[in-house]
């Protein structure tokens, strides 16, 4: 007689003993159910009796996101203007702060395997899920809150790794939203929009802080100087007044960071080679590697090189 049948027999004799109708894992059941009078923390649906209050569940809305659409979860730091001041981030770009954001995004991507690409700049990150994902039944709030809370927790968790000599003064938080894009064209346009935003902000911030830090203008004066200027004017100010060629600024600042899963060929370990060392067998294996890029994602080249769409 197996242990489940034995327990069921005993249950008939003891009115206090609870045997769930579905016991998924005998080992866990035995471990968590001693002494045998204890009720499990969560009852199976079959054995749950609805209370008179259960009707309130019907007030919850159905937020299932449309199927077969690209799903984007974008998170954005709350009040990072202040957060970056309090934590004395380098202006206009703090490499450690940006790399912390990238490491956190990679952490989220590793945890949620249906994310095919992430794009980040400043205090924001977009996570792109494959259109056919069935994660959490495509429930918008469940997906968004899981991503945003893992992001915030990982940001705190990894802070010391990037700022070993800087105390985290208060807990950072992030907002999150889910947006659907129905076609390959619209998801590409979404990402182009974020990358153009990165370029516009970075060019503005680079000139603004050059005028303030090297040109000794006040914040207000720098703002007035740049009012109505187009990108050509800003490039000219940088070049003629500060000898800065914007094209030579780091790609990470100009383009933001794109994280993708790349298939890479890696050599087999020496011992593995010895075990099965025949001439015809491959000496390499294909692995997926999460890779950070600072490249143009607006042009076709990126999409032709990466098999994402």
By the criterion CB under 6 A, which residues form the site for ligand GTP?
76-81, 84, 89-94, 97-98, 122-123
Cβ proximity to ligand GTP: between 87 and 138 the closer is 87
Selection from 283, 288, 250 nearest residue 267 by Cα: 283
**With CB cut-offs between 5 and 8 Å by kind, which of ligand GTP, Mg ion, none does residue 98 bind?**
ligand GTP
Minimum gap (Å) between residue 201 Cβ and Mg ion: 12
Does residue 123 touch Mg ion according to CB under 5 A? yes
Cα angle 126-132-134, degrees, rounded to a multiple of 5: 90
**With CB cut-offs between 5 and 8 Å by kind, which of ligand GTP, Mg ion, none does residue 84 bind?**
ligand GTP
CA 50 to chain centre: 38
Cβ proximity to Mg ion: between 76 and 236 the closer is 76
Minimum gap (Å) between residue 151 Cβ and ligand GTP: 14
**With CB cut-offs between 5 and 8 Å by kind, which of Mg ion, ligand GTP, none does residue 93 bind?**
ligand GTP
Q: What is the Cβ-side half-sphere exposure of residue 165, based on CA atoms within 13 angstroms?
A: 2
Minimum gap (Å) between residue 86 Cβ and ligand GTP: 11
Minimum gap (Å) between residue 23 Cβ and ligand GTP: 48
Question: Residue with the closest Cβ to Mg ion?
Answer: 77
Q: Which two tokens stand for residue 223?
A: 């703002």
Q: How far apart are CA 173 and CA 148, in angstroms?
A: 9
Cβ proximity to ligand GTP: between 94 and 296 the closer is 94
Cα angle 80-83-85, degrees, rounded to a multiple of 5: 110
List 33, 70, 71, 80, residue binding Mg ion (CB under 5 A): 80
**Please, what is the end-to-end C-alpha distance for the chain in angstroms?**
54
Q: Which two tokens stand for residue 84?
A: 């970056």
Selection from 161, 120, 67 nearest residue 256 by Cα: 120
Q: What is the Cβ-side half-sphere exposure of residue 244, based on CA atoms within 13 angstroms?
A: 18
Query: Cα torsion for 170, 172, 173, 174, to the nearest 10°?
Result: 160
Residues 67/126, Cβ–Cβ less than 8 Å: no
Cβ proximity to Mg ion: between 123 and 128 the closer is 123
Cβ proximity to ligand GTP: between 43 and 95 the closer is 95
Print the binding letters for residues 1-20 with Mg ion: x by CB under 5 A, - otherwise.
--------------------
Minimum gap (Å) between residue 302 Cβ and ligand GTP: 24
Q: How far apart are CA 251 and CA 202, in angstroms?
A: 11
**With CB cut-offs between 5 and 8 Å by kind, which of Mg ion, ligand GTP, none does residue 97 bind?**
ligand GTP
Which residues lie near Mg ion (CB under 5 A)? 76-77, 80, 123
């Amino acid at each position: 007689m197996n242990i489940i049948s034995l327990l069921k027999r005993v249950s008939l004799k003891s009115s206090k003993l609870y045997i769930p109708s579905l016991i998924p894992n005998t080992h866990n059941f035995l471990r968590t159910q001693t002494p045998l009078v204890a009720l499990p923390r969560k009852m199976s649906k079959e054995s749950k009796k609805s209370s008179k209050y259960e009707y309130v569940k019907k007030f919850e809305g159905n937020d299932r996101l449309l199927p077969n659409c690209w799903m984007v979860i974008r998170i954005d730091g709350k009040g990072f203007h202040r957060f970056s001041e309090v934590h004395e981030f380098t202006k206009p770009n703090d490499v450690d702060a940006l790399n912390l954001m990238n490491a956190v995004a990679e952490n989220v991507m590793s945890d949620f395997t249906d994310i095919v690409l992430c794009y980040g700049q400043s205090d924001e990150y977009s996570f792109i899920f494959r259109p056919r994902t069935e994660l959490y039944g495509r429930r918008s709030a469940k997906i968004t809150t899981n991503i945003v809370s893992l992001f915030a927790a990982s940001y705190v968790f990894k802070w010391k790794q990037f700022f070993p000599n800087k105390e985290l003064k208060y807990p950072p938080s992030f907002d999150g939203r889910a947006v659907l894009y129905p076609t390959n064209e619209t998801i590409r346009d979404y990402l182009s929009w974020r990358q153009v935003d990165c370029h516009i902000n970075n060019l503005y911030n680079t000139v603004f802080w050059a005028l303030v830090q090297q040109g000794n203008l006040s914040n207000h004066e720098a703002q007035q100087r740049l009012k109505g200027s187009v990108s050509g004017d800003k490039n000219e100010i940088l070049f003629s007044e500060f000898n800065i060629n914007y094209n030579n600024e780091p790609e990470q600042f100009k383009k933001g960071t794109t994280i993708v899963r790349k298939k890479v060929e890696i050599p087999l370990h020496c011992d593995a080679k010895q075990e099965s060392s025949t001439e015809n067998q491959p000496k390499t294996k294909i692995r997926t590697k999460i890779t950070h890029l600072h490249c143009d994602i607006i042009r076709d080249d990126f999409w032709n090189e990466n098999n994402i769409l």
